[in-house]
């Protein structure tokens, strides 16, 4: 099983130097994948959670591709209704080529109503637009040989039933975000049912979980996967592996924008996990 990290490409402490330090830390600790998020217009609903500056993901990953060597690069998640499908197909294919085939494209429908309005995109059609974009992008990659350097893996995000159905139709993997393990076990049954209903194979599992280390165990039944002592976190990762996860992405951002000024606590948590995970040869 592979492990990745969701790196904050936003917030008052984030600048090119900080992004470089994050990338070198993630790659240096041996993680397999570095992912960033997507917003284009930092409207008030976005800014409450992810304040400016917000670095656009294709631009950011293109730059990080040039200062990393091994780590794969991805989006968690690219909001498909925000851009023209052929533009996204071209940017993704070029980034995949220029990085030596390292791109993982996590995609989603989006949630920020004010951002949709600022971009002139109808919020109520976001699911339909996402499906249309996925069809158009796949068709573009298939029609033009210069669109790709090997297939680009698509991870479909979304914890709703519509997200599950979309993952079955379009995704190499389903990419759920922040959840409890009991919820995930139930959702995987619904994913299998959705695949059976469509007569399609069940997609892979590539979840993104929280990463919040605590000095003592968290006993709350609502504890998110990835929260608690190092033992709890490692047990969560192992349970996800046994549930079929091919990759687990760790998200160390706790929600306070001031964290972006002080990443060392997150780096220490990542180092603790990396040191305790089995090596690839085990």
> What's the pTM?
0.97
Q: Residue 281 domain-assigned?
A: no
From the list 61, 155, 144, 143, the residue with the least C-alpha distance to 102 is 61
From the list 43, 136, 133, the residue with the least C-alpha distance to 79 is 133
What's the domain range around 90? 2-276
The radius of gyration of the chain's CA atoms, rounded to the nearest angstrom, is: 18
Yes or no: say if 71 and 34 are a contact pair by the CB < 8 Å rule.
Answer: yes
Q: Please state the domain count of the chain.
A: 1
Q: Residue 193 domain-assigned?
A: yes
DSSP notation for 160-213 = SHHHHHHHHHH-SEEE-BS--HHHHHHHHHHHHHHHHHHT-PPPEE--EEE-EE
CA distance 241 to 236: 9
Residues 6+ apart with CB under 8 A from 250: 3, 4, 5, 6, 208, 209, 210, 211, 226, 270, 273
Q: Per-residue pLDDT for the chain (282 aa), expressed as one digit of tens each? A: 999 999 999 999 999 999 999 999 999 999 999 999 999 999 999 999 999 999 999 999 999 999 999 999 999 999 999 999 999 999 999 999 999 999 999 999 999 999 999 999 999 999 999 999 999 999 999 987 655 568 999 999 999 999 999 999 999 999 999 999 999 999 999 999 999 999 999 999 999 999 999 999 999 999 999 999 999 999 999 999 999 999 999 999 999 999 999 999 999 999 999 999 987 644
Q: Residue 282 domain-assigned?
A: no
CA distance 106 to 249: 11
Q: Residue 9 domain-assigned?
A: yes
Quote the pLDDT of residue 281.
46
CA distance 278 to 225: 19
Yes or no: say if 4 and 248 are a contact pair by the CB < 8 Å rule.
Answer: yes
Quote the pLDDT of residue 278.
84
Q: Give the domain CATH number at 29.
A: 3.20.20.30
Residues 6+ apart with CB under 8 A from 100: 149
Q: Residue 130 domain-assigned?
A: yes
Long-range contact pairs involving 146-153 (C-beta distance under 8 Å, separation at least 24): 146/93, 147/89, 147/90, 147/93, 148/93, 148/96, 148/97, 149/93, 149/96, 149/97, 149/100, 149/101, 150/96, 150/101, 152/92, 152/93, 152/96, 152/103, 152/104, 152/105, 153/103, 153/104, 153/105
Report in angstroms the alpha-carbon separations of 121 from 39, 112, 118, 201, 254. 14, 11, 8, 32, 29
Q: Residue 37 domain-assigned?
A: yes
Q: Residue 17 domain-assigned?
A: yes
Quote the pLDDT of residue 132.
98
Give the total residue count for the chain.
Answer: 282
Q: Residue 258 domain-assigned?
A: yes
Quote the pLDDT of residue 280.
61
CA distance 49 to 58: 21
How many angstroms from the chain centroid is the CA of residue 81? 17
């Amino acid at each position: 099983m592979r492990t990745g990290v969701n790196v904050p490409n936003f917030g008052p402490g984030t600048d090119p130097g900080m992004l470089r330090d994050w990338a070198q830390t993630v790659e240096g600790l041996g993680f397999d994948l570095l992912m960033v998020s997507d917003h284009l217009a930092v409207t008030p609903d976005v800014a409450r959670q992810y304040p400016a500056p917000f670095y656009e993901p294709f631009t950011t990953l293109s730059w990080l591709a040039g200062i990393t060597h091994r780590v794969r690069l991805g989006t968690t998640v690219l909001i498909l209704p925000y851009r023209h499908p052929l533009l996204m197909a071209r940017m993704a294919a070029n980034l995949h080529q220029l990085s030596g085939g390292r791109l993982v494209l996590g995609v989603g429908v989006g949630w920020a109503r004010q951002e949709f309005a600022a971009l002139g995109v109808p919020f109520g059609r976001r699911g339909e637009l996402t499906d249309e974009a996925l069809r158009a992008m796949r068709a573009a990659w298939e029609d033009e040989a210069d669109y790709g350097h090997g297939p680009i893996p698509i991870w479909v995000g979304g914890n709703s039933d519509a997200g599950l159905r979309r993952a079955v139709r379009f995704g190499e993997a389903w990419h759920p975000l922040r959840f409890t393990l009991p919820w995930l076990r139930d959702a995987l049954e619904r994913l299998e049912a959705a695949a059976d209903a469509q007569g399609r194979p069940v997609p892979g599992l590539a979840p993104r979980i929280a990463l919040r280390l605590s000095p003592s165990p968290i006993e709350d039944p609502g504890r998110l996967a990835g929260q608690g002592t190092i033992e709890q976190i490692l047990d969560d990762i192992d349970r996800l592996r046994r549930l079929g996860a091919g990759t687990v992405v760790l998200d160390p951002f706790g929600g306070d924008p001031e964290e972006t000024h002080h990443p060392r606590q997150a780096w220490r948590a990542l180092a603790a996990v990396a040191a305790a995970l089995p090596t690839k040869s085990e």
